[in-house]
Structure 1
Amino acid sequence: MTERISGRVVTPTGIVQQGCVEINGDRITAVAEYPSIRDGHWIVPGFVDIHTHGGGGHTFTTGDADAARSAAGFHLAHGTTTLLASLVSSPYELMHEATAAFVPLVEEGVLAGIHYEGPYLSTVRCGAQNPDFLRDPSLDELSALITLGKGAVRMVTIAPERAGALDAIRLLTGQGVVAAVGHTDATYDQTRAAITAGATVGTHLFNGMRTPHHREPGPVYALLNAPGVVCELVADGIHLHDGTLNLAVSAAGPERSALITDAMAAAGMPDGEYELGGQAVLVADGVARLARDGAIAGSTLTMDAAFRRAVGAGVSIPDAVRMTSLTPARAVGLADRVGALVPGCRADLVVLDDDLNVVRVMQAGAWV
């Protein structure tokens, strides 16, 4: 049975002002112009969040499958129809347990995959990562986890200056896993070496990285300058000033800029005390910080809020749509299935009102 959703449809090639998306089953079958339609809501692709640790009071970081399902459901209500569960730095045993617990959720379609943010990160730039668990990359660990994941492991963030990092990046990319550069004190040249080895994502650009300097540009400029690298951006006004967000988007373009939430369990919840990777987190005025030193500890962001923030900062709606859907989908190898309102893609879409607030969400052809 065909369903038609009409309004201002945003496609990879622009806005169909008087448009209609035709759905049959769980697939988009057509996107067409219907002159009889007058305005209506915005129709955009379902958001794709490739970096989030939880939300709605639930976390991915402990490897609890029920909590993961609830966190994914929270973000789904905010328009995120495709989501990677991001772990934080932890012992191998927890990584193993979490991977085993999340594989069925990936097979079911609740999650699109797993992202290990660590533990192969810089101590100097660890941010809210638990320093007790940081270590050099292990090819044996990674090989075992990839095998255990049966395709569920999608991305691993690594600091390229750590011993064995380049070999780990080669191993990952050889197994079809995205290698990301993040939480790093690497120089420009070390970052370029990681890109040459196969790294294709910059984890929350600017945050958890050596600060750029005109005589030592460090990882930020290396990632922005690399044509094959997608740069993650946290558009919450806290991780990045709106001016910095605009600068990064101008440099990389919407084709290489991916909005992420980096959300933790406190997203959508009241201020108070929370936990991330075994560390106490205090949330005040919606800002999450480690209790021990005040470091930013993820965010309380949702993808619809990130979308609105980017548009409010001056990013055009078509570019913001690309940055919240097709670009992140392409970054983790999912662009053949999700991320755009085009025939053949999964019927994931978000209906937004004139203020860009979520009205309805569809995932795989079903309203949720």
Structure 2
Amino acid sequence: MNYVLTNGIFHTEEGPVNGHIIIEEKQIAGINPGEYTGPLECHDLSGHHVLPGFIDIHIHGGYGEDFMDADLMGLHHLSQSLLREGTTSYLATTMTQSEEAIKTALTTLKEYHKQQSEEEAEMLGIHLEGPYISEFKVGAQNPQFVQRPSIDSIHDLQTAADQLIKIITFAPEVEGAAEVLAEFHDKVIFSMGHTVAGFDDINQAASNGARHITHLYNASTPFAHRQPGAFGAAWTNDRLSTEVIVDGIHSHPAAVNIAYRLKGPEQFLLITDAMRAKGMIDGTYDLGGQDVIVKNNSARLADGTLAGSILKMNDGLKNLMAYTKRDIDELWRVTSLNQAKALGIDDTKGSIKPGKDADLVVLSPDCNVLMTIKKGHIHHFN
């Protein structure tokens, strides 16, 4: 599986390279300007943009599937489908449900992780969104199953998941939160969300090891000039990276632009927070045991509460370019490199560099996915 991608604009950490890259044995072997003149098979990219494959660290499902279904065949279908939007890696994200349902999902994800194919988007691990959240900011989570965190409960869930839990979304103000943060902050990423914590509480948790904000602007305390809230802490604390759902529905485009200006290209992480209706027609779908009505590109509970998104990663990047008026050579980092660095896997993923996995996406000027490459395997979508 050795070949060359030629006549592309390859966006690297050092800047764009107009030329070709050599793929050898599932990895990037070389990046060079100009034309390729060697013996390997060439794939002409017609001058299109080439980015590292997208890494979605907060996704509940899509294409009719949900990680809480605990369905191995469904997981394969979802992972194959994610390649269509340029996503080559992801964290399977769970919901606030019963302990039994969560453990069943974790056990199934553990089994899937052992058998996943190199020709599918790669499950890197698990994002546990809840149940350790505030009952006062549940959003579309089920308040019936909100729990208080404990060291024993996290040990139990990690055992069920075979240590695959990489991110835990939690409310830092609830009972038990400080203890689990102290115990596990160097083992998993604690991301603050679904919380009523104020500015000082968020900053204190960041000082104690919390590193992220879950879907900034949603299900947390807003900014006011005398009470800066979670938003103000997220904007101004350099210890904190911020997830943002860039669909134009969860947050106003101007609010997205503000977050990007304040966090910059190193601490802004584009996510989808997508649920099973992504890639499907409008209708009613299940999310965590609750009906979600999908209409006009939004997913909501019957009372109007936003319930995840139907956003695709390539569309999120297209939106971010429009909202911030920045170009793709600056913004590609928020779809891959920042996520790889956060997860500690930037030695193999997250940028186009010799020695890294051949996980790539080829985009048209309007961010349509033309080709996705996973571990060197080429998938055409034009």
Range class of TM-score, shorter chain: over 0.9
Q: Using the TM superposition, name which of 199-208 and 326-335 deviates more.
A: 326-335
Shift of 1:211: 1.2
Shift of 1:84: 0.7
SS at match of 1:255: helix
In the alignment, the residues of structure 1 paired with residue 282 and residue 52 of structure 2 have an alpha-carbon distance, to the nearest angstrom, of 31
Contact 1:78 1:304 in 2 (8 A): yes
Query: 2:11 aligned with 1:4, yes or no?
Result: no
In the alignment, the residues of structure 1 paired with residue 330 and residue 271 of structure 2 have an alpha-carbon distance, to the nearest angstrom, of 15
SS at match of 1:111: strand
Query: 2:320 aligned with 1:310, yes or no?
Result: yes
Q: Matches of residues 1-368 of structure 1 in structure 2 within 5 Å?
A: 1-6=1-6, 7-16=8-17, 18-34=18-34, 40-109=47-116, 110-174=122-186, 176-291=187-302, 293-313=303-323, 314-368=325-379
From the superposition, tell whether residues 38 and 323 of structure 1 become closer, same or farther in structure 2 (CA, over 3 Å).
closer
SS at match of 1:315: coil
Shift of 1:103: 1.1
Contact 2:95 2:130 in 1 (8 A): yes
For 2:235, give the aligned amino acid.
L
In the alignment, the residues of structure 2 paired with residue 204 and residue 243 of structure 1 have an alpha-carbon distance, to the nearest angstrom, of 16
In the alignment, the residues of structure 2 paired with residue 319 and residue 90 of structure 1 have an alpha-carbon distance, to the nearest angstrom, of 38
Gaps of 5+ in 2: 37-43, 117-121
Q: Using the TM superposition, name which of 314-323 and 207-216 deviates more.
A: 314-323
* Percent of residue pairs identical: 37
SS at match of 1:288: strand
In the alignment, the residues of structure 2 paired with residue 229 and residue 190 of structure 1 have an alpha-carbon distance, to the nearest angstrom, of 13
From the superposition, tell whether residues 27 and 35 of structure 1 become closer, same or farther in structure 2 (CA, over 3 Å).
closer
In the alignment, the residues of structure 1 paired with residue 330 and residue 163 of structure 2 have an alpha-carbon distance, to the nearest angstrom, of 30
Contact 1:54 1:72 in 2 (8 A): no
Gaps of 5+ in 1: none
CA-to-partner distance for each residue in 1:19-78, whole Å, 9 max, x for gaps? 212110111111111168996111111000000000001111232222222222221221
Shift of 1:117: 0.4
Contact 1:121 1:183 in 2 (8 A): yes
From the superposition, tell whether residues 366 and 38 of structure 1 become closer, same or farther in structure 2 (CA, over 3 Å).
closer
CA-to-partner distance for each residue in 1:285-316, whole Å, 9 max, x for gaps? 1210012x210000000101101111122132
Contact 2:5 2:45 in 1 (8 A): no
CA-to-partner distance for each residue in 1:213-259, whole Å, 9 max, x for gaps? 11111111212222232100111000111111111011001100000
In the alignment, the residues of structure 2 paired with residue 182 and residue 64 of structure 1 have an alpha-carbon distance, to the nearest angstrom, of 27
Give the CA RMSD over aligned residues.
Answer: 1.6
From the superposition, tell whether residues 22 and 151 of structure 1 become closer, same or farther in structure 2 (CA, over 3 Å).
farther
